Amino acid sequence: MPSSKLKNSMLVDIAGSKLTGAMPAIDGSALTGVSGFMKNASDPATDTNPSGGVGIGWVNTSDGEIFICTDATTDANVWYNVGGGDGDVAPFHGAGQISGFSAGGAPNTNRIDKYSFTSNADATDHGDISTAHSNTSGSSSTTHGYVAGGEPAAVTIEKFPFAGSNVSTTDVGDLTVLRYGTTGCSGITHGYSCGGRNPSSTDINVIEKHSFSTDGNATDVGDMTIVRMQAAGTQSTTHGHISGGNSRPGGPPATNTNRIDKFSFSTDGNATDLADLSVTRQGSGGHSSSTHGYASGGHDGTTPYVNTIDKFSFAAGSNATDVGDLTVARYLLSGTSSSTHGYSAGGYLGPNSDTIDKFPFASNANATDVGNLTIARYAPGNGSLQY
């Protein structure tokens, strides 16, 4: 049978299963529907804003690391490192823009207070946790706050919405270990509860994480370098940090520590010793800028209470420096962070405190009194409860 030559105009659609044999080389520029790669001598940034959106690749021509854009939100890009490197690129999650929260506290209360980051004012009653607890850990997703553990010793993980009013928490899971005085940190995808004291008055070093996207129990992902309770929690984009605390390895007596531990959010594993606080203490509030961690207030075991605000670099690994003072020396306070300021709320100074202090991240300075909690209390949720 004689063969015929087909013209291009005659080809409308051919099933891939009907094509056999070797295909000729195709010019890559003719392909459609395939995201490309960008090249640069540095890593991508959260404000790279690729025109191709999600799926665009990025090659760092200096070190060979490869990233894929998984969220192209303007100026809040997320780049996942797929090239064997040790860090993703994502917006800083350690600070809020709207409000900070204090949940629970002693004398044991179930009240959740909310205070503004955009104006100086007293807190308002936002809602309730299911059980009156103090010495819980706190962590934050973009939409919910989480409180875990607590005194009386508990394993419960509860969450509450940041939006709305008169809210109540829901029980979404359990920690692996019954404890109180645990410290909270917030990654992008998970909340963390670190250390604490069990009902036998023995401190532990366990680091646990629980998912923000799916309700469920926490899992044990590593250990701190020492056992401790009532430490300050801070976070960079990539790591959690645990500062100070009270260490009781096998029961009384207990001693305070100045150690700052660091652990990775991207890889489960044990913490490492990063640096030291300027003052050995427990019960400080933790605060996070995009580059530095802060610890405010505390109890150093010799003088009654501390008003010191310490600052340490997330990247440098150098010891903390004293950069200012709280308006009132106190300990067992809650710490939160806006993008520009650290906030220290409540605490114990003989009587209970209802003071809300704030101090700037841009300059080293003393705190100012900007409002009051709805009730005076100490040992509310220890960690980052903000959005």
Band of residue 73 on the pLDDT scale cut at 50, 70, 90? confident
| The pLDDT value given to residue 27 | 52
pLDDT for residue 376 is more than 50: yes
224 pLDDT higher than 90: yes
Q: How far apart are CA 326 and CA 182, in angstroms?
A: 23
Higher model confidence: residue 182 or residue 3?
182
pLDDT band at 303 (very low <50, low <70, confident <90, very high): confident
Q: Please list, in sequence order, all residues whose beta carbon lies within 8 angstroms of the beta carbon of residue 100, skipping any fewer than 6 positions away.
A: 114, 115, 117, 336, 337, 338, 343, 345, 385, 386
Two tokens, residue 317: 């690994």
CA distance linking residue 324 with residue 140, whole number of Å: 27
CB 345 within 8 A of CB 337: no
One-letter amino acid at 262 equals K
Averaged confidence pLDDT in the chain = 90
Q: How confident is the model at residue 74 (pLDDT cuts 50, 70, 90)?
A: confident
CA atoms within 13 A on the CB side of 243: 38
Structure token pair of residue 165: 């009013």
| DSSP secondary structure code for residue 213 in this structure | S
Q: DSSP characters for 7-26?
A: PGGG-----GGG--SPPPP-
| Residue 202: how many other CB atoms lie within 10 Å | 15
Q: What is the pLDDT of residue 6?
A: 60
Cβ partners under 8 Å of residue 242, min gap 6: 183, 185, 194, 195, 224, 228, 231, 232, 233, 260, 261, 263, 271
Return d(Cα 40, Cα 92) in angstroms, integer: 22
Please state, as a whole number, how many other Cβ atoms lie within 10 Å of the Cβ of residue 153.
Answer: 18
pLDDT surpassing 60 at residue 154: yes
Quote the pLDDT of residue 299.
95
The per-residue pLDDT for 304 is: 85
Q: How far apart are CA 250 and CA 272, in angstroms?
A: 22
Q: From the CB of residue 341, how many other CB atoms can be counted at a distance below 10 Å?
A: 21
pLDDT, one tens digit per residue, over 75-98 is 778 888 887 665 677 777 789 989
Model pLDDT for residues 112-136, shown as the tens digit of each residue: 999 999 999 999 999 999 989 899 9
Question: Which pLDDT score, from 0 to 100, does residue 330 have?
Answer: 97
- Report pLDDT for 244: 97
Contact 346, 327 (CB under 8 A): no
Query: Where is pLDDT greater, at 25 or 231?
Result: 231
Cis omega before residue 107 (within 30°)?
yes
Q: What's the confidence (pLDDT) of residue 258? A: 97
pLDDT in tens, 248-259: 887 677 899 999
User: Token digits for 179?
Assistant: 């404890």
Contacts of 338 (CB under 8 A, 6+ apart): 95, 96, 97, 100, 117, 386
More confident residue, 384 or 324: 324
Strand order across the 124-128 sheet: 99-103, 111-116, 124-128, 167-168
- Residue 2: pLDDT band (50, 70, 90) is low
Mean pLDDT of 278-299: 96
Give the per-residue pLDDT at 31: 46
Contact yes or no for 242/232 (Cβ under 8 A) = yes
* pLDDT at 25 (0 to 100): 57
> What average pLDDT does this structure show over 264-288?
96
Per-residue pLDDT band at 1 (split at 50, 70, 90): low
How many residues are given for the chain? 387
Residue 206 predicted with pLDDT over 90: yes
Question: CA–CA separation, 267 vs 340, rounded Å?
Answer: 29
User: Model confidence over 12-52: pLDDT tens digits?
Assistant: 666 656 666 665 655 545 545 546 789 999 999 888 999 98
Q: 327 near 334, Cβ under 8 Å?
A: no
Round to whole Å and give the CA distance between 147 and 182.
Answer: 10
Percent of the chain with pLDDT over 90: 70
